Amino acid sequence: MVNIRIPATSANLGAGFDALGLAVSMYNYVQMEESDRLEIISEDGAQIPTDENNMIFTAAKDLYEVCGKRLDGMKIVQTNGIPMTRGLGSSSACIVAGLVGANRLLGSPLCTDDLVNLSAQIEGHPDNTAPALLGGIVTAVFDGKRVHWVKQEVFTKLKLAAVIPDFELSTAKARACLPKQIDFKDAVYNLSRAALFSASLLTGKFENLRTGVDDRLHQPYRIGLIPGANEVFDIVYAHGAYAAYISGAGPTIMAIADEENEFFAGKVRFSLENAGLGSWRVAELKIDNTGTEIQDE
């Protein structure tokens, strides 16, 4: 049995659409072993596909095919700490789990770069899959065939608060609302902010982060699909967040605060209640620098 721990991820980081992402301390756990039939168990009772459409199984099957092997069955036990369809990389976590587990079962024929490439080919963009695999903050460019990436570990005095609503927003719907074309000046607006964000995060110039998360490619279009999001932004900034952005395709809003901002998550929770947004959950997180880990077998 291979035991795997996969972190949740938060993509885009505001302006770095489809390019930046970081891993956070919220996890799915997956156990996998070869079997002559397909058996998929949801340990925590979460509703997941238990047939051949299960994403962990399809990713594992893809890896077997790449390695010239056939996969007919498998036993998969999933424990889902990452909420689904909330912009925290739950699909990428399944893809990465399937690839990493299958690779281990075959004796690790693929290297890290192969896994980064294959996971981005399956997902279509690398900004969740690469940090889920690698941890830290990842800057990634997918050229259609392979991913050019840099992982940087983050040792800053920051904490994150994921403000997670009780409704889902599919990535397909959140991508369908985006414009087909943008102005030249808006492209410049975004690329300058995306570069500012990662440089400022990594060097501790946190006063730049609020400017760095501002963008004109996706958040202005997606915010209309997230009732309550404007109020959430106001609340986290009122409690001293350095920055807040729509996590991935949404609907979660991710806030970044100083480690010394005492009771930040609790104060946000209290203000959400007072604003009639008590159904939103607040999860206090750290950046995960490890990425996907195969635990003791």
**Given the rule CB under 6 A, which of 11-19, 42-50, 104-112, 262-270 is the region that contacts ligand HSE?**
11-19
Cα 205 from Cα 223, distance rounded (Å): 27
Binder to ligand HSE among 31, 117, 128, 198 (CB under 6 A)?
128
Residue ranges in 16-35 that form contacts with ligand HSE under rule CB under 6 A: 17-18
Quote the least distance from Cβ 92 to ligand HSE, whole Å. Answer: 7
Contact indicator for 264, 184 with CB cutoff of 8 Å:
no
Q: Are strands 281-285 and 293-295 parallel, antiparallel or unpaired?
A: unpaired
Cα 88 from Cα 100, distance rounded (Å): 19
CB closer to ligand HSE out of 32 and 249: 249
Cα 175 from Cα 136, distance rounded (Å): 25
Q: How many CB atoms lie within 10 A of CB 110?
A: 18
Residue ranges in 169-198 that form contacts with ligand HSE under rule CB under 6 A: 171, 174-175
Quote the least distance from Cβ 218 to ligand HSE, whole Å. Answer: 6
* One character per residue 207-236, x = contact with ligand HSE (rule: CB under 6 A): -----------x------------------
Phi, psi of 90 (to 5 degrees): -65, -35
Cα 137 from Cα 127, distance rounded (Å): 10
**Given the rule CB under 6 A, which of 32-40, 114-122, 125-133, 137-145 is the region that contacts ligand HSE?**
125-133
Binding site for ligand HSE (CB under 6 A): 11-12, 17-18, 125, 127-128, 171, 174-175, 218, 248-249
